[in-house]
Chain A
Amino acid sequence: MLEARTERLMIAHFDVDAFYASVAVREDPSLRGKPVAVAGRSRRAVVLTASYEARPYGVRSAMPLYRALEACPELIVVPPAYELYRTLSRAIFDVLGDGQRPVEALSLDEAFVDLGSADVREAEAIAQSARTRVRREIGLTISAGVSQAKMVAKIASDLCKPDGFALVEPGTEAAFLAALPAGRLWGIGPKTVRRLNARGIETIGQIAALEDGALHAIFGAWGTEVRELARGIDRRGVEPEREAKSISTEETFEYDIGDEAQLIDVLRAQADELAQKLEREGLFAGTVGVKIKRSDFTTVGRQTHLEQPACDAGAIFEASSFCLKRAQLRGAPVRLLGTRCADFVTRIAEQQRLF
């Protein structure tokens, strides 16, 4: 839920630079300055993180490992060390919170910190000193963005990476956002970007300037909120208790789908997406479920327990397609389909299969 704030507080967004790859270098300094990628060992392994030295070759996270190796044959591939990531992540967040500031972890390497009623200069000093401490005490570089608007703080830290700091002064949020591509805005995915581009809308500034009519034609009921975000108005505060209990993805279809084979294809793509997220966090899901909204807006959910907690797309898809069958749609048109993983365990050992 969005938490309305009346008093404007400063928020910092911190993001460790190329976390997994930087940890690999921290553990083995001989890797410094070399193109490094962290990736699993499976046949379908994807790059979890690439070092900045690997990025000029086009190596990106979520890229299949074999393609990364094609793009950069000298790439050094290191297996993930989730136990270590978790230990370091706890240590970093402890520095960021310093025992007094609320920290909202978004993942192992990314967090919002509530800087409270600090003024702009104080906020900058706190964030900079936290960056210095993380570098000195933990041996990793971390970038930070500071703003009164949560989303702006995150975009600012993204833009100043690596080892950067960016402050967006109160009142300048809209100007800061204006020239950025529309896809930077929260909640605007590639599909919406294509729709916006088709109407000649490329930047966040153009969204901020939309009139009510056009706004609602594009975004529907959600329009006002999007325009507020585009103007740098974001009333959400830092929510420290936030911890991922489940991860999910869903898709609302442009046209309702009644064909089961098509729905199965959607589930397959969603399983791939969730498997990547799970692998990135080193999590295994014990429960997989689907959410189905029919064209009459009634919603059904089905979920199933996995005997062997899994993080691979195959197991997630097997479970989600079973849930879909069990929902017995019998060709009823569906307007939204989603997959959800929950009951996480963190494990380092993987049960091998007989077949």
Chain B
Amino acid sequence: MKFTCNTKDIASAVGAASKVVNAHTTVPILSNVLLQADGGKIAVRATDLELTLEHAFAAEVSETGSVTVPAKLFSGYLSNLPPGLLELTGTPTRASIKYERSNYDFHALPADEYPPLPSAQKGQSFSLNSKRFRDGVTGTIFAASTEEARGAVLMGTLLEVEGNNLTLVATDGYRLAKWQTALDEGIGGAEKYIVPSRALAEAARNLGGAEKIDVTVLGAQNNQLQFSGGDTSIVVRLVDGQYPNYGQVIPPKFDRKIAVNTQQLIGGLKRAELVAGDRASMVRLQIGNSTLILTANSDVAGNAYEELEIEQTGEDLTIAFNARYLVEILNHIDSPQTVMEFLGPLSPAAIRPAEAPEGGEQMYVLMPLRQ
């Protein structure tokens, strides 16, 4: 293979792909990225067998073919190249690069040993606006579990597709994020997929440039999902398992409600949390007289007290939360006002933006602390 391309194009493609490579893999070829030159394009691919990322860019291809190069080494080299044109010649054992007056030879591994993409047998497919996708993903995946011990299902994010609606759900058992958004093209019927949250993060990061994102079920067992937009595609192995029945833990009705300035609440919680010490970052919320009082205290640090003006409906309430969890949720609320709804000091609370995101619905459920 042989091609000439812009250093910036190849550096960003290899850089993105190398993030997928597992640094601790024991299979040598999985440390490499695959470069395929064909039809005026170079496709750069990396995989850790669960997640595959492919990014293509335009190049002047003089000889079609492929080569694999150690990802970390190659991306390190490319990121240090000034703008300009480079020429790459690939053989099964070597990738040679010419850039102005420099020549580099990288040891390569034969491209035909690189794991193939899953069978192109395609199942259901739907598509949506990429901004909505990105907002929905970043607004939910943070609530997924990061504890391997609790299993891959809770580390994943649920994608529920029904007609022209997509619902994303993530939960670690203490908090839950739910984001509903409209699809450009939906499916007939309803489907559920549990996607590793890490893959969604990669998809949100790498597909941002495209206008529209296509999501397609792949594989003979319908156990892979492909996210593609523009010149980038991500294929991920779905998590096999039963997602918790999240509908059951969201109370259908609440009897108390407040509306509060989002940024003021974030500021107050962050300051009060500093005083809470190691008591699970416990901050108490006292609601009464259309005022929200935040308090925290610890033997080590002292006392915190802050008052915020709120709109209050329903009875007074004192409830305690892990401030870190609440701040993390509020950080994903774009609306100036946040609405919080309650049932009691030990019951789940709902948190949502006063104005829902365009074309969708966003809500969080957070369990309180027992004082």
Question: Which positions in A face B, CB cutoff 8 Å?
Answer: 83, 304-309, 318-319, 322-323, 345-355
Known: A304-B148, A318-B150. A352 touches B370 (CB 8 A): yes
A322 partner residues in chain B, CB cutoff 8 A? 148-149
Interface positions, chain B 315-365, Cβ under 8 Å from A, are 320, 322, 346, 348, 365
The secondary-structure label for the interface of chain A is mixed
Contacts of A323 in B (CB 8 A): 149
**Does chain A have a CB within 8 A of B255?**
no
Give Cα A305 to B148, complex, Å: 9
Closest to A309 in B: B280
Mark the stretch among B113-121, B166-174, B287-295 that contacts chain A.
Answer: B166-174
Size range of the interface on B? 20 to 34
Contacts of A346 in B (CB 8 A): 278
By the criterion CB–CB under 8 Å, are A349 and B280 in contact? yes
Min C-beta distance of A343 to chain B, whole Å: 11
| Contact status of A318 and B174, CB under 8 A, knowing A349-B320, A351-B322 | no
Chain B residues near A304: list those with CB within 8 A. 147-149
Beta-carbon contacts under 8 Å, B154-182 to A: 171-176
- Report B-chain residues with C-beta under 8 Å of the C-beta of A350: 280, 369-370
- Pairwise interchain contact A305-B369, C-beta atoms closer than 8 A: no
- Give A83 to B371 CA distance when docked, in angstroms: 12
A349 to B147, Cβ gap below 8 A?
A: no
Are the CB atoms of B280 and A351 closer together than 8 Å? yes
Check A307 against B146 for contact (C-beta < 8 Å).
yes
Q: Who on chain B is nearest to A86 by CB?
A: B299
- Identity of the chain B residue whose Cβ is nearest the Cβ of A304 in the assembled complex: B149
- 5 A-B pairs besides A348-B282, A349-B371 with CB distance below 8 A are A322-B148, A322-B149, A349-B280, A351-B174, A354-B176
Q: Which residues of B from 268 to 306 have beta carbons under 8 Å from A?
A: 278-280, 282, 299
Contact status of A348 and B173, CB under 8 A, knowing A307-B145, A307-B147, A318-B150? no
* Cα–Cα, bound, A348→B320 (Å): 12
Q: Which residue of A is nearest B249, CB measured? A: A354
A308 to B278, CA, bound (A): 12
How distant is the Cα of A185 from the Cα of B12 in the complex, in angstroms? 69
Cβ–Cβ < 8 Å partners of B248 in chain A: 355
Q: Which of A307, A309, A352, A353 counts the most chain B CB atoms within 10 A?
A: A352
Q: Say whether A305 contacts B173, CB under 8 Å.
A: no
Q: Which residues of A contact B280 (CB under 8 A)?
A: 309, 347, 349-351
Evaluate whether A347 and B279 lie within 8 angstroms (CB atoms) in the complex, with A305-B147, A319-B149 already known. yes
A86 to B309 CA separation, bound complex (whole angstroms): 38
Contacts of A83 in B (CB 8 A): 299
Q: A348-B371, A349-B282 are in contact. Are A354 and B174 (CB under 8 A)?
A: yes
Could you list 22 A-B pairs, sorted by A, with CB under 8 Å?
A: A304-B149, A305-B147, A306-B149, A307-B145, A307-B146, A307-B147, A308-B174, A318-B150, A323-B149, A345-B278, A346-B278, A348-B279, A349-B280, A350-B280, A350-B370, A351-B367, A352-B367, A352-B370, A353-B367, A354-B173, A354-B365, A355-B249
Contact of B174 among A347, A348, A349, A353 (CB under 8 A): A353
* Docked-complex contact A352 and B368, CB < 8 angstroms: yes
**Judging by beta carbons under 8 Å apart, are B278 and A354 in contact?**
no
Closest to B276 in A: A349
Residues of B close to A345: CB separation below 8 A: 278
Say yes or no for B267: interface residue by CB 8 A criterion. Answer: no
- Does B244 have its Cβ within 8 Å of any Cβ on chain A? yes
* CB atoms of B369 and A349 under 8 A apart: yes
Closest CB pairs A-B (n = 7): A322-B149, A349-B369, A352-B367, A349-B282, A354-B249, A350-B370, A319-B149
Give the residues in chain B near A319, CB-CB below 8 Å.
149
* Interfacial chain A residues near B371, Cβ < 8 Å: 348-349
B369, A354: Cβ atoms under 8 Å?
no
Q: Which residues of A contact B320 (CB under 8 A)?
A: 349
Q: Given A308-B174, A347-B278, A352–B346 Cβ distance below 8 Å?
A: yes
Most buried by B among A306, A309, A318, A354: A354
Report B-chain residues with C-beta under 8 Å of the C-beta of A352: 174, 346, 367-370
What residues of B have a CB within 8 angstroms of the CB of A348 in the complex? 279, 282, 371
Q: Which residues of B178-194 are within 8 A (CB) of A?
A: none
A322 to B278, CA, bound (A): 26
Q: In whole Å, how far is B71's beta carbon from the nearest beta carbon of chain A?
A: 26
> Which of chain B's residues have a CB closer than 8 A to the CB of A309?
280
- In this complex, the member of B149, B172, B282 whose beta carbon has the largest number of chain A beta carbons within 10 angstroms is B149
